[in-house]
Structure formats: C-alpha cells, structure tokens
Amino acid sequence: MASSTTYSTQIAADILGTIAASTEAVVQQRPGAREHVLALAYKLVSTLETPSETVQRMGWTEPARFAATQMAIDLKIFEKLEEAHNAPVSLVDLVVSTGGDAALIARTMKHLSATNIISEIGVDEYASTPISTALTIPKFRDGISYLYNVAGPSLHSIPAYLKKTGYENPGNIADGPFQFAHKTQNPFFIWLAERPEYAEQFNNYMSGYRQGKLSWCDEGFYPVAERIGQRLNSEPPLLVDVGGGLGHDLLELRTKHPELSGRLILQDQADVIKQVGNPEKGIELIVHDFFTPQPVKGAKAYYLHSVLHDWDDARCLKILNNIIPAMSPGYSKLLVNENVVPDVGAAWPITSMDWLMMALGAVKERTEKQWRGLLQQAGLEVTGIWTYEQGTESLIEAEVAI
C-alpha cells in the first residue's frame, strides 16, 4: 500500500501538470483561466503542507500577517515605500517617518516580507510590491481596516456564540455573532451608520471588492445588449442600481458597453451618495432607501448587487415588493448579482462569504433553489441564471410573473 506521503506527492505532481498545461490560457488572459489556476494553487498548498504546517499557517502565520498589515497601514509604511518609486527604503528611514520603535518596525517588516506583502532588498532595506502599492489605495487599504476591526472579531466570535446558543443556525439580525463580538443590540448596518469611520471604510472596500474578478457585463458572461439594450423608447431609464454604493458597477457597465444609450441611475442612502461627490457624466444620483417604494418607474432594468444577501427572506421580500410595482410587466427586468451556492463543489470564495454573512448579519448565501423560491414568493419569474466561472458571482434575471 502506498504511503500517505507518496499519495500526496502524486496528487501534487498531477496538480502541477494541470497548472503547467494552463499556462497559455493564463498568459492569453482567457476568461476564467486565472481563477482556475489560482484554485489549483491553493489545492497544491493544501496537498503539500503537513498537518503541522497547516495549523501553523491558520493559527499564527496568517493572523500575524493580517495584524502586521494593519499596523503598517496605521503607520503609513506602504505610502513611504511607494514614495521611493521602487528604490530601497531603509529601516532607519521607516523608524524616522513612523516614530515607531526600531525593533518593532524591523519585526513587522520581516513578517510582511516573509509573507510577500513587501520586498526585502537587503539587510534592513525594503521596497514596495504590487500588493503594498494596492494597499495605499483607499478601496484596498480600507478593506483591510474594515475586515480587521469589524468583520474579523465577528468571525472569531462564531464558535463561542454558537456554543452559547446550542449550535442553532443564526437567523436574528439583531442577535448574532456580530452583536456577540461587538457587545451591541443593533443590527450591523445600524451599528455601522453610527460609526462614520468604519462606514467610509466599508463603502470604499465595496468599491474595490470585485476588482479583477469576472463581471456580469464582461463579454461572454451575460448578453447585456441583447437582454437589456433594446428598449421601448428613450424616455425610461436604462438601469437603476438600487443600493449601488459608490457607483462602481454603473461605471463598469458604461465603460464596457458604450453602445448602450439611456439614463443610468445610482441609488443609495444619503451618507453614501454624499461620499460619491460629483458623479461621472451620464450617471444620476438619487437618495433612496430600498425599504421604501421605488420612485423610478418603468426602467428597463433594476439592478441589485450584493444587496439581498445582507438580509433575511422577510426583509428581502420587502425590498423586492418595493421594486416590483415600479417594473413594467413584460418589459422591465430585475437583475440580481449575487453568489449562487452550487449543490456540489462550492468554491471557497462563496463558502467563506457565507460564513462572513453569518458573522455580520446572521444571514446566508443562497442556493439556486433558494433564490428561485425567494423570487417566486415575491411574484417574480426567473428567466435565466448566468454563471461564468466557479467561485464568481452569478447574474440572476427575473421578470414580473404574468
């Protein structure tokens, strides 16, 4: 009988062969190729690691990386490296610019280098990397801070919270792991609204969450021009982005489909719309609470991106029931851009997001059956579900049931 080491080595060899065979597809930037190889790379690490190494990575390597990255953000270390334009920055310079203890800064830089956040050029000399450069940009930098200070404690509290509740599946948005961790009785979004610093970090992070991932408006995903490009006349808006944050989805749609004509409307709460500032040409801003009736009537499409997964079924139905009266039956479409959990072989970006939703709102990512049931209950008929690559968000299209 082959040993477990021999078995793991053979699996690793097979994975390496598959990765090698995928090189051309990655170089040519074929849709889905990068995601496929990335999934294989994670599987390769899991195959080659010993149990002890797995525990070490989960237990302190990644948590220490997260903590060191947050500290570097607080001290603006990544900005200091970026200002050097790829030239080495000495430990002495970092100590002077940050005011931190030399030994502490040295230990921080060592771990950031060992985990590929920055580059170690020589003895006590460091330089930026694409990752550290990205962490000087608000949508990535604030993602770390929001996740470290808000989401992280909520995730860490799940085992203790579930033990307290007798391992019941969380379902109360005002009494879940988030409330347990942050010692509050407020639901996540109410708590967030009372803390402008975290709210700004959250909104910035949402604007960059999907960057580099396949989008519903990419060629070969959802047939945008065919499904929503043809309109009855030029008067009604083309698309209303309901709860659309800072408008990154509308900008992407306009950039990737300049042939589409029609008004694009961004809706969100007043504090979010204020953060948008001056909108890009062709995008209208409307302050709107999606728990109230939709004011824009007869648009070709009403778009919800990562909105419904924040809420339980009852509140989702309230959101949908406020949109449906504004839709023109047989013409308007509801576009729901969300994760659809497959019955078998769900990828970690989806399963981990499901746990994050459990932690923050006592809610969940839904299966196809659950999505169809929810939309049908609201009086909508699903007319198609588009999924390009395992682990990416899907585009669910629905119309008013006639």
| List of E strands, 313-377 | 333-338, 340-341, 366-367
Note whether 173 and 312 are within 8 A (CB). yes
Count Cβ atoms below 10 Å from residue 342 Cβ, excluding itself. 15
Q: What angle do CA 242, 369, 381 make, to 5 degrees?
A: 55
Q: Which long-range contacts (CB under 8 A, 24 or more apart) does 82-89 make?
A: 82/128, 82/132, 82/133, 82/136, 84/127, 84/128, 86/127, 86/128, 87/127, 88/121, 88/122, 88/125, 88/126, 88/127, 89/125, 89/126, 89/127
DSSP letters along 113-131, please?
Answer: HHTTSSEEEETTEEE--HH
Q: Which two tokens stand for residue 83?
A: 């200002």
- Cα radius of gyration (the chain): 23
3-state secondary structure 186-208: CCHHHHHHCCHHHHHHHHHHHHH
Query: What residues act catalytically?
Result: 309, 338, 365
Strands 333-338 and 125-127: unpaired
Residues in the chain, overall count: 402
